[in-house]
Amino acid sequence: MATAAPASCFFNQRTFKLPSSYGSSLPVRQFASRNAAALKTRSRVSCSSSLSPATPISYEFSDGSSDMELRLQLGGIGISGPRDIYVDANNTSLTIQLKHSGSLMTLMETDSLFDRIKSAETIWLVVLCVYALDNNSLDLPVAQVRALVLDRYLDDDQLVINLKKQNPELKWPDIVESWESLAAGSMQLLRGTSIYIVGDSTEINQKVAKELAVGLGYTPLETKELLETFAKQTIDSWVLAEGYDAIAEAEGVLLESLSSHIRAVVATLGGLQGAARRADKWQHLYAGFTVWLSTTEATDEDSATKEARRHIEDGSLGYTNADVVVKLQGWDASYSKTVAQASLSALKRVVLSDRKLPGKSSSNYT
């Protein structure tokens, strides 16, 4: 998707952690950029979404253009009044807590909302079916608490939170950024634009590309399989017969053919035989979004940041042209969906930086 003279934009580095339901703790460093010349700032953001295991809370979420509503059922918990409820909404985070039996119970906590909200315009209402209270009984920040209402026709108490989006054009599939919401939400953002997975490991490229294709409903394509079918021999035997350059050249021709495809996730060859490793072979990779899956021996975010900066400043690797860089501290195939989710999250931020990006590609190839 990059152009000859793209506007430089860098999204902050973050540690990506899936909700607890995934049971995954694979360290993944994520960089989203538009051909950034250098890394600028970074911030640590952990993504977690949890409901109290002792008191499961069900919720309903609806997106009505600029306003969204989150409705939690509180029946059976036994609250004594609105003083027992604590709601804190800030940019991409939301914390909902309840004082119960002398202790504070967390009903929902996430610092990875699907996108940013207007924190100062958050409104929450306690809907009680038993008794009426007035705003004077609330001991909470005015910016967070705007109204209290009574509805005697409800069977259970409810907590209703009204949120305003920073970007009213973006449709939220759910309140929290998750694999499911990212897959659903990316449909409106990518608009059919293909995704190319690059990096030094063909296996990793293929595993992650397959997960992305399934989640997005895209066609999974592997240049390794296509080339082997065409040549009627394995890549390894082809390398022995003709060398790395011949394979890279052949994959470059194949990528030219694939550049006219839409709604595809293409896993490219890794290693010295891969065309994406070579800066002069990127012409047709610009037809879609590119994700660089980069393994690293860095043990912390600072080291990963310095490593990425060195790669970008050096510019000798073609991979540095990628729209998104995902740093992997080790690899296990069972974490393919974790990496795919990190990639989608970064791609979402790239597209939101310039909503015209997918259109530039689709207008050329549809």
Q: 178 Cβ partners below 8 Å, 6+ apart?
A: 18, 19, 49, 341
Q: pLDDT at position 8, please?
A: 23
* Cα 257 → chain centroid: 29
One-letter amino acid of 292: W
pLDDT digit string, tens, across residues 225-248: 999 999 999 999 999 999 999 999
138, 161 in Cβ contact below 8 A? no
Strand ordering across the sheet containing 158-164: 59-64, 67-73, 158-164, 123-128, 149-150
Q: Looking at this protein, which amino acid is placed at residue 268?
A: T
State the pLDDT at residue 21: 35
Contacts of 303 (CB under 8 A, 6+ apart): 296
β-partners of residue 327 are 29, 294
- The pLDDT assigned to 216 comes to 96
Of the CA atoms within 13 Å of residue 203, those in its CB half-sphere come to 6
Strand positions, DSSP E, the chain = 9-15, 28-34, 59-64, 67-73, 85-90, 93-100, 103-110, 123-128, 149-150, 158-164, 195-198, 219-222, 264-267, 289-295, 324-328
Region of residue 271 (phi > 0: left; psi between -120 and 50: alpha; otherwise: beta):
left
Give the pLDDT of residue 78.
65
For β-strands 324-328 and 289-295, DSSP reports them as parallel
Q: What is the pLDDT along the chain (366 residues), one digit of tens a residue?
A: 543 322 222 222 333 333 333 333 445 555 554 433 323 222 222 222 333 333 457 889 999 877 899 988 776 666 666 677 888 888 999 998 888 777 888 888 898 999 999 887 777 665 554 433 344 344 444 333 333 333 333 445 678 888 999 998 899 999 999 999 999 999 889 999 999 999 999 999 999 999 999 999 999 999 999 999 999 999 999 999 999 999 999 999 999 999 999 999 999 999 999 999 999 999 999 999 999 999 888 877 778 778 877 887 877 789 999 998 898 888 889 999 999 999 999 999 999 887 777 755 544 443
Residue partners of 130: CB distance under 8 A and separation at least 6:
157
Closest CA to 170 of 150, 190, 151, 154: 190
Q: Counting beta carbons within 10 angstroms of the beta carbon of residue 30, is it exposed (0 to 12), middle (13 to 18) or buried (19 or more)? A: buried
Q: What is the pTM of this model?
A: 0.77
